[in-house]
Chains A and B, each alone.
Chain A
Amino acid sequence: MFMHDDPLLNLRRGGGGRAWIRKDPALTASVSILWALIGLFILFPLVSLLAGVFFVKGRFTVENLLEILSTRHQLIAFWNSLWLAFLVGTIGTILGFLFAFTACRTRVPSWLVSVIDGVVLLPLISPPFTTAIGMIFSFGARGLITYHVLGIKGATVYGLWSTLFSEVLTYFPIAYLALKPMLNGIDSNIERMALSLGAGRLRVFRTVTLPLCIPGLANSFLLLFAASLADFATPLILAGNAFPVLPTQAYLQITGMFDIRGGAVISFALLVPSLLVFFLQRYWVSRRVYVTITGKGAGQLAFDSVSAPVAWLLGALCLFVTFTIFYLYALLLFGSMVKALGANNAFTLNHYKVIFTEGAKAIRDTLIIAAFSMPLGGLYGVLVGYLTAKKSFPGRLSMEIASMLNYALPGTIVGIAYLMAFNAPPIELAGTALIIVALYVFRYGATGIRTTVATLSQIDRSIEEASESLGASSSFTFRKITMPLIAPAFFSSLSVVFIRSMTAISATIFLVSINWTLITVRILENITELSLGPAAAFSVFIVVVVFAVMGVINAAMRRFKSPGAAR
């Protein structure tokens, strides 16, 4: 998963102009359809949002924005958001690097690496606030850890530090997954040479390993920065009133006061930093990734970058973090199986009964929506990726950028934009499943674009050219030649879209209705009431379903791969 962030992938630019000139009807048709869809589900909502922010009764004005920017507490929330995102980016990247480095550059037993990989996967496949549930129990005046274990009195769980802690644990696995292949890609022979030339281990690390990693670290910092900037659920539960952040403020403005315009204006303030981060990550950092792939594998020996005691220390640190995550999830599982966590720890399966009876509608709705979003999102990503990487047509670069917008922007913005665009005629979709499916397809389907582009750039174009020069149409070539080759990209984007459809909340919380509700929204609702048991049971359910579906997708991918020489 999250292969779209894989820093090893490079975008191949250019491509011949012949395809378009030949006036390929299939190409013309698919480009037109895609533009229509992108126009409707990406550009139109954003234009609606901008119109809502800048036009009052048909007249252009910046007053709305100035009012927010001059309100002291909104300004504080704005800087809080950036500060939190900066801290999550920094600490998460360091932690991710620590894990990747330990896994790749010390001789950790491979079973231990598998255990760690399994555990750090958990935050990626559960709703973003699941660690927050564990936090509420563990820290605070009567927290399991702060009070009962450490004996600290009067601790407060709400604020910057707990939000930061929870977000770092939730998002650092992204950094780990992005940095691990990069570290593996650095030929350890270079480090070995430096060592044998007489440099100390620390010097090798400082002057060889680390510089090679810097673009990857910058990349991962920006990814985490964006993830934190987009997260509204964790701060809603943990930040408290002393540390307001913008996405939460926008949410409360809309749900509490139903001031959509006000919410839009607040969230608009996030637009600039998130777009900046996106373009930095996308067009600057990701092109400066140094890879030193040589003969691959054959000449590489395991290399210890650090001495044995340091390796132990690193391993212990990783284990500690892994254990913390494990503890939070074990607490969640425990909470789902006792009557009332903290007051009555008697075993019960009642919460599961509750979610499968009272929560059945949410489960059904979520699964239906995910089942539709998954194939459509996968198809969208592969199609856009294929067209922008392999075909040449007017507006190719604009399509590439436009298709990524919904993904680049924080969910709060996209959700509010959809609400503004589709709440009233001419295109009234509010209250339908379609609006949620569309959001998932055009937001998370975008992750498949880069995976596809990356996969395609490794395939020699002459294979397709051979097919086309033998008289096959481009749709036939796509079906028979290209499709088998990009199947892995398709499957991996299926996983991403499915995982996100099951776990996302920041955008869709604005779009649920009497007809269509989502498990994640129910969990949040449960947490804010007294029903912690069902919230925990729902979360466990999501983790199990996602694991199962990922297993099926991986199995399908293996079957697809084995017959051909697709790799």
Chain B
Amino acid sequence: MKRRNALVFFLTLTFLAIGLMSAVAQTVNVYSIWPENWARPMFEEFEKATGIKVNFVRFSSGEALARVIAEKGNPRIDVLFGGPVETFAAGIAEGVFEPYKPPVFDKLEPRFRQKDGYWVAIADDPLCFMTNNQFLKENKLQPPSSWEDLLNPAYKNMIQMADARTSGTAVTRIFSILEVNGRNEDKAFAYMKKLRPNVQLYTKSGGGGTLPVGLGQAGAGIFFIVDALDTKAKGYDVAISFPREGIGSAAEAIALIKGAKNPGLGKKLIDWATSAEMQKYFAKYKINFLPANPDVTPEASLAAVLKNAKLFPIDADYAGANRERIVNRWVAEILNP
């Protein structure tokens, strides 16, 4: 009996000690939509530069936005970090953000900032096609250079892409298809329906399909360039290509949460993330985002990959206004026909 009392006592002590320890340092709370292996080095550099600790947890964009909306009455975080801009546009409609214009605001291209400062871009991330080279060879195919190429029956049941319910990659992809089809929804959905038999799996996370494509478990996929180049860098034998009709590029954004408990610290993080300070680290940590800040030049190998790609920005206002309706239509007509 005594021994158990001692155990409970000891556990309570540890619990308290840990609680105290984490309360001492200045901490800003963040939901990161960027995967941990990219977000973490950025936040560590931020802590080095400012002494402010970032307490963060990673969610895919749909999940993160959903949490922020659910916590509207009592926000648990200060900043929503990373993730395609249409997620942020949808957040504005839900009234979860507090406008804030960092010093760099006026220097940014208009498409990298929300005019009232509800969000600001920290990077640009184009989509691309990624194919497994051995799969291409066995099926005597060239890397796809058109959206139509993906309809080839050789890809039957061999393409992986993200699920629009949870992934911003998927939403950006769907809006790319809409753009390519002149925003004619019926035409775009007709294309996606034709593509459906070739899709092996809709993954929960945007990068979820990269590993299967790398391994050859799937033949092709549509991913953000940052995920695709990371797969290649890990040593998987994959090809990266772009459709000649064009493909969307989503700005990755950051925003201050309305009612944040530490708005001052949150603003510091936003100042830092939108400045050259952070974005120059993309190259150092081999994160293949295009910097949004005009003072940082894209890393050479990334620029080379993108040289001949036809890219267009996703219109944040149009995407944000239509996101929920389009996703629901996608679930009803494409995912579960």
Contacts and interface: CB of A to CB of B under 8 A. Distances in A.
Nearest to B8: A375
A257 B201 contact: no
A157 B203 CA distance: 14
Point out which of A517, A528, A532 has the most chain B C-beta atoms below 10 A from its C-beta: A528
Interface string B225-242: 001001100111100000
Given A141-B218, A514-B29, A530-B211, A241 B230 contact: no
B211 A517 contact: no
Interface in B152-210: 157-158, 163, 165-166, 199-205, 207-208, 210
Contacts of A254: 66
Q: Bin the interface of chain A by size.
A: 35 or more
Interface string A129-146: 000000011001111000
Contact of B1 (A156, A423, A479, A513): A479
B20 to A, nearest CB: 14
A256 B166 contact: yes
Interface string B1-13: 1001001100100
B165 A142 contact: no
Contact of A158 (B55, B57, B73, B200): B200
Point out which of B204, B207, B235 has the most chain A C-beta atoms below 10 A from its C-beta: B204
B219 A141 contact: yes
Given A137-B215, A255-B166, A72 B336 contact: yes
Nearest to B10: A371
A248 to B, nearest CB: 10
Interface string A506-538: 000000111101000000010011111000000
Contacts of A542: none
B3 to A, nearest CB: 10
Contacts of B31: 514
Contact of A156 (B62, B67, B200): B200
B214 interface: yes
Interface in A346-392: 358, 364, 368, 371-372, 375
B55 A528 contact: no
Point out which of A140, A252, A513, A529 has the most chain B C-beta atoms below 10 A from its C-beta: A529
Contact of B201 (A240, A375, A424): A240
A241 B201 contact: yes
Contact of A525 (B1, B4, B7, B58): B58
B4 A375 contact: yes
Interface string A238-257: 00110010000000111111
A358 B36 contact: yes
Given A255-B66, A344-B234, A528-B203, 15 more contacts: A73-B335, A140-B212, A142-B215, A252-B163, A252-B166, A258-B67, A342-B214, A343-B214, A343-B234, A343-B237, A358-B40, A368-B15, A375-B8, A513-B76, A531-B36
> A-B pairs with the 4 shortest C-beta distances?
A258-B66, A142-B216, A256-B165, A73-B336
Interface of A: 72-73, 76, 136-137, 140-143, 147, 154, 156-158, 236, 240-241, 244, 252-258, 260, 339-340, 342-344, 358, 364, 368, 371-372, 375, 423-424, 428, 431, 479, 512-515, 517, 525, 528-532
Interface of B: 1, 4, 7-8, 11, 14-15, 18, 29, 31, 35-37, 40, 55-60, 62-63, 65-67, 69-70, 73-74, 76-77, 132, 134-135, 157-158, 163, 165-166, 199-205, 207-208, 210-212, 214-219, 227, 230-231, 234-237, 327, 335-336
11 contacts: A76-B336, A141-B218, A252-B166, A256-B62, A256-B63, A257-B327, A258-B70, A375-B7, A515-B55, A515-B76, A529-B205
